[in-house]
Amino acid sequence: MRKLYNRINREELIQKMVHSTEPRTTLSFYKYHKIENPPFFRNYLYEKLDDIQTLGRIYLAKEGINGQISVPDQNIDSFKTIMDDIEFLKGIRLNYAIEDDGKSFFKLIIKVRKKIVADGIEDPDFDSSDCGIHLNAREFNELASKKDTIIVDMRNHYESEVGHFENAILPQAVTFREELPMVKEMLSDQKEKDIIMYCTGGIRCEKASAYLKHAGFKNVYQLNGGIIEYARQVHEQSLENKFLGKNFVFDERLGERISDEIISRCHQCGTPCDSHVNCKNDQCHILFIQCPDCAKKYENCCSRRCADFIKLDHQTQIQLKTMIEFNGSKFSKGRYKALGKDEALNVS
């Protein structure tokens, strides 16, 4: 029987990706469309994409598909043919990465989920297809320049921390599910104003704009293709770039630069920095911002405690891992800021 899941060790796959010289292209796509049998479609898609050495992450649900992948350059045409052979994906917009070294993913994962974007919406009358008016980069700049226009970042707080549009509202949400009602409440007395919503590639504000319209907001817009497509159009058309900093991405790169500004700071020392990393201690693995000096000082960890822990032998780590509280145990993504007292690990 044909294998429909990866069976190779994670570390082996990562090393293979790191040392590969094969040119690859990173891209993302999504489509809201009713899929009758997601598990069957999942297996069909895995077989087709695995054949052309696709790596990345794809989520399927009855409401549609959401994918972030990398494909060998020599197989891009084959990938497009696979997509075009699927009726509802024919001609789908592909968002190409801005900064791409071909090392964004190390394996192919295709999962069936309840929804392609977890939203917490249970209202049976909600129609995600009744979304806001799509804006291209030029139209976005024009509307964003008007005095009373409201711009809303529909990403999580750790994404907007390193980059966002000028004058945007930046809800301090940890999840999209949490952010939807938060934004509705924040704007409850401004239902007649022009509201522009944006996210990384468009999938979240597609649903968020429909959510606000369902709640009675009159003039809702969304940035078509998100920050990724905006950056491409700005570059190709020599438009003013209203995005400041980096665009956070959910792959091994963790970010791609859209402008030269650095608007965030190292979570450990406070120096200007916008490089997200995960703590090297896998028992912690918290996502945070770390500058090169702190990476050296803390040995790519978020704290001295984690740096001490990874030096222990494997058996000792197994014995102690459930007995020690790390930053990853206490804080959600990006909420970590260096503690006033950086305690060393005490195993006595």
Q: Which of 254, 243, 256, 260 is nearest to 289 (CA)?
A: 254
Tokens of 33: 């469309």
Nearest-angstrom CA–CA distance, 166 and 86: 39
Phi, psi (degrees; rounded to nearest 5) at 71: -130, 140
Tokens of 90: 């024919």
Phi, psi (degrees; rounded to nearest 5) at 79: -60, -45
Q: Which of 168, 132, 175, 114 is nearest to 335 (CA)?
A: 175
Across the strands, what pairs with 110?
58
Q: Which of 142, 136, 157 is nearest to 93 (CA)?
A: 136
Beta-carbon-side half-sphere exposure of residue 144 (alpha carbons within 13 Å): 24
The secondary element (H helix, E strand) that includes residue 83 is: helix 76-84
The dihedral through the CA atoms of 183, 186, 187, 189 has a sign that is: positive
Nearest-angstrom CA–CA distance, 221 and 274: 29
Across the strands, what pairs with 61?
64
Tokens of 211: 């959510």
Nearest-angstrom CA–CA distance, 175 and 181: 11
Nearest-angstrom CA–CA distance, 8 and 84: 30
Active-site amino acid positions: 199
Query: Residue 85: exposed, middle, or buried by beta-carbon count in 10 A (0-12, 13-18, 19+)?
Result: exposed
> Is the distance from CB of 265 to CB of 162 less than 8 angstroms?
no
> Is the distance from CB of 256 to CB of 98 less than 8 angstroms?
yes
